[in-house]
């Protein structure tokens, strides 16, 4: 198997006991009641709206270059399809058409592959070019989602047309039939072996896939959605029944943590909670919510990761981004300061959308 397309070192920052205590004192909201609307606007009088608007301005000014490149400040200032996709989605939610257009233009000029309507995942400022042409399917999904929503909001048909071609390419190149299932690959190359397929549970961006099903028809996406939901229900490991960052599927019901990667519920798998909360998948997020609640009930910070095999925990807390995702899922307090780290700050804004 080729190297995974996402070998990014994620940094975390301890929140301390205060966040845990504050979270414990907030009432819990029903996960099923948390709906997501990427194209909606927050009311201007809402405290959440004012915080989100401030966060967006900070995020844009800190991480988006004048030409529209989203800069991963925690990893040598590289850019990748993940960051570009988040920038598009966040600009859309902020109703910032100018920034959306800049990010879309840079993405197409620098990451769009010539052989298929997908995006190279990694661009390095040292070489000023793509250093890994393999795609990251979650980035492609969010790009296609944001382009489709932007075409509807701003009446720009070319964005809608590009979204349609990307969606078709995802179905053609990133979905395989194995073990009686339709499996969503993390990338075109390096994840299918003769006896198993490697998947990333956090790449199932449920609100995007639901949107695709509405506009392309259920027949196009329902098998991917239903099999993905089933696989994530099977991907519950260890005492806390949590998904690992990477899994291997070797049979219809045979799902296990990927053996060549740390078996952790960590920096990737935390987005299972993010997309699950936004996509109303409470059946998928329930074990995560239960684990996080148990930490808060013990008046201790939620650890940044936990080994789903041994139970070992990180000796530091979730980043501000992880804390914001936990706040979204549980209905508890979220950090009020935007992280200076690209990944954590992105999670904060996505969790508040």
The residues that are catalytic are 82, 138
Gap between the Cα atoms of 315 and 300, Å rounded:
11
Distance CA 344, CA 267 (A): 10
Residue with tokens 């395989």: 176
CA distance 216 to 212: 6
State the alpha helices, DSSP H only, in the chain: 17-24, 47-63, 81-93, 97-110, 137-154, 157-173, 206-216, 218-234, 270-278, 282-297, 320-330, 342-351
Question: ∠ CA(197), CA(144), CA(261), 5° rounding?
Answer: 30
CA neighbor of 344 nearest in space, from 62, 22, 7: 62
Q: Which two three-digit tokens encode residue 297?
A: 């009930």
Backbone angles phi, psi at 98, to 5 degrees: -60, -45
């Amino acid at each position: 198997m080729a190297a995974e397309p996402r070998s990014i070192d994620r940094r975390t920052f301890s929140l301390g006991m205060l966040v845990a205590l504050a979270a414990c004192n907030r009432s819990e909201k029903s996960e099923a009641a948390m709906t997501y609307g990427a194209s909606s606007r927050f009311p201007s009088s809402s405290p959440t709206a004012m915080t989100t608007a401030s966060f967006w301005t900070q995020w844009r000014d800190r991480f988006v270059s004048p030409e529209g490149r989203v800069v991963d400040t925690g990893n040598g200032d590289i850019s990748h399809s993940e960051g570009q996709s988040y920038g598009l989605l966040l600009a859309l939610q902020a109703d910032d058409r100018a920034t959306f257009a800049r990010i879309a233009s840079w993405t197409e000029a620098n990451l769009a592959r010539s052989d298929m309507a997908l995006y190279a995942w990694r661009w390095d400022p040292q070489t000023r070019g793509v250093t890994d042409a393999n795609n990251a399917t979650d980035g492609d999904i969010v790009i296609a989602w944001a382009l489709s929503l932007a075409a509807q909001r701003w009446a720009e048909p070319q964005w809608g047309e590009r979204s349609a071609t990307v969606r078709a390419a995802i179905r053609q190149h990133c979905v395989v039939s194995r073990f009686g299932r339709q499996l969503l690959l993390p990338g075109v190359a390096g994840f299918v072996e003769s006896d198993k397929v490697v998947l990333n549970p956090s790449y199932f961006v449920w609100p995007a896939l639901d949107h695709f099903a509405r506009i392309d028809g259920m027949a196009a996406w329902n098998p991917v959605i239903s099999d993905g939901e089933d696989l994530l229900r099977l991907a519950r490991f260890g005492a806390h029944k949590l998904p690992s960052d990477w899994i291997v599927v070797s049979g219809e019901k045979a799902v296990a943590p990927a053996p060549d990667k740390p078996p952790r519920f960590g920096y990737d798998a935390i987005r299972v909670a993010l997309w699950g909360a936004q996509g109303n998948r409470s059946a998928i997020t329930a074990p995560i919510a239960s684990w996080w609640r148990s930490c808060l009930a013990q008046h201790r910070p939620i650890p940044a990761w936990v080994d789903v095999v041994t139970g070992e925990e990180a000796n530091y807390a979730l980043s501000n981004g992880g804390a914001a995702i936990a706040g979204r899922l549980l209905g508890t307090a979220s950090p009020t300061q935007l992280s200076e780290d690209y990944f954590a700050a992105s999670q904060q804004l996505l969790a508040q959308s």
